């Protein structure tokens, strides 16, 4: 019998490899999945890495409202924070202009 942790790991693995159906593909979803290329002979981890993020309540509310609008545009019941952040990371890694904008914003916010 498997434990709750085993079931959670299996579910996370299924979610990580799930692709949207053809009818659900949007321009945001068309960003290629970037897989780091390693010349090392060490095995590459396939286990998803969990991150956490603290947001100010007002910023969280704005994100929640944005996710609701995005879900409606996509015809989905919801868009999760994880869905949105995965796409944003892929866009950030593949779009040099977006990367420059983010770095400039980080510079302004940190005052350097």
24-51 confidence digits (pLDDT tens): 544 544 545 555 555 556 667 789 899 9
Dihedral over alpha carbons 99, 100, 105, 111 (to 10 degrees): 120
Q: What is the pLDDT of residue 42?
A: 67
Mean pLDDT of 6-25: 66
Q: For residues 102 and 88, what is the distance between their CA atoms, to the nearest angstrom? A: 11
Q: CA nearest 28: which of 76, 62, 60? A: 76
Q: What is the pLDDT of residue 107?
A: 95
Q: What is the pLDDT of residue 40?
A: 59
Q: CA nearest 70: which of 19, 14, 105, 27? A: 27
Q: What is the pLDDT of residue 4?
A: 83
Q: Are 98 and 91 in contact (CB under 8 A)?
A: yes
41-84 confidence digits (pLDDT tens): 666 778 989 999 999 999 999 999 999 999 999 999 999 999 99
Mean pLDDT of 91-106: 96
Q: Which residues contact 99 (CB under 8 A, 6 or more apart)?
A: 92, 93
């Amino acid at each position: 019998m498997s434990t709750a942790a085993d079931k959670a790991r299996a579910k996370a693995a299924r979610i990580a490899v799930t692709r949207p159906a053809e009818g659900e593909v949007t321009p945001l979803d068309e960003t290629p999945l970037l897989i780091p290329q390693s010349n090392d002979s060490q095995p590459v981890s396939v286990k998803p890495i969990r991150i956490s993020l603290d947001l100010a309540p007002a910023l969280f509310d704005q994100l929640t409202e944005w996710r609701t609008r995005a879900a409606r545009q996509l015809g989905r019941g919801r868009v999760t924070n994880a869905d949105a952040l995965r796409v944003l990371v892929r866009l950030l890694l593949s779009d040099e202009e977006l990367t420059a904008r983010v770095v400039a914003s980080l510079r302004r916010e940190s005052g350097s």
